[in-house]
Structure 1
Amino acid sequence: MTLSKRASWFLVAVGVWSWVIWPTFLRNIWKDDRSWDDGPTGFFLVHLVLTVVSLAIGTAVAWLGLRGTRAGRGAETGASASSERLVGSGR
């Protein structure tokens, strides 16, 4: 499967967005009075899990986007090279 350049950069942007938003969200939850009562509360733990999972998904999405941008660059230069090989080989 090949991603377009636009789709690849969109995936990278979504991954970066996740890394900007979710740590800020967790800092706000950390400061919330409902997060601590002689240790972390269920409220805090649920939001911690939500943040960790969202960061993992954001990282995976950004990684796929980066791979798509790299493959797109290779395909642009590789397409002309492969067509030259086909022409030169008599096919």
Structure 2
Amino acid sequence: MISKTSARFLILAGLFNVVVWPRFAKAIVDDDRAWAGEHWHSAPQAFFWVHAVLITSAILIGLGVLVVGVRAHRSAGSVNR
């Protein structure tokens, strides 16, 4: 059983990852190191793919943490009633 405070922390951590990482993804796409030439019209480089995997993983983990936090928060709320 997770406390309501811990559940809130998980929700905040999940939201942070879901909100912050997409903005970082835009920065990577706009970076010249991500492309062999013109952005979106040339081959993506290793810089792009490495960051794409990291960002995707972070968002998926963040979503998982968010789901666990929401479920734990709901569960903690029903126990206190």
Given the two structures, how large is their TM-score scaled by the length of structure 2? 0.91
Deviation sequence 1:19-73 (CA, Å, 0-9, x none)? 1110011100000000011311000000000000000100000100001110011
The aligned counterpart of 1:33 is 32
The structure with the larger Rg is 1
Q: Which one of the candidate residues 59, 63, 72 is aligned to 1:59? A: 63
Equivalent pairs counted in the alignment come to 76
- Bigger RCO of structures 1 and 2 (CA < 8 A, at least 6 apart): 2
Q: CA RMSD in A?
A: 0.6
The aligned counterpart of 2:76 is 72
2:44 maps to 1:44: no
Question: Structure 2 stretches of 5 or more lacking a match?
Answer: 37-41
Question: Structure 1 stretches of 5 or more lacking a match?
Answer: 78-91
* 2-structure distance, mates of 1:9, 1:23: 22
Given the two structures, how large is their TM-score scaled by the length of structure 1? 0.81
The aligned counterpart of 2:39 is none
Query: Per the alignment, in what secondary structure is the counterpart of residue 57 of structure 2?
Result: helix
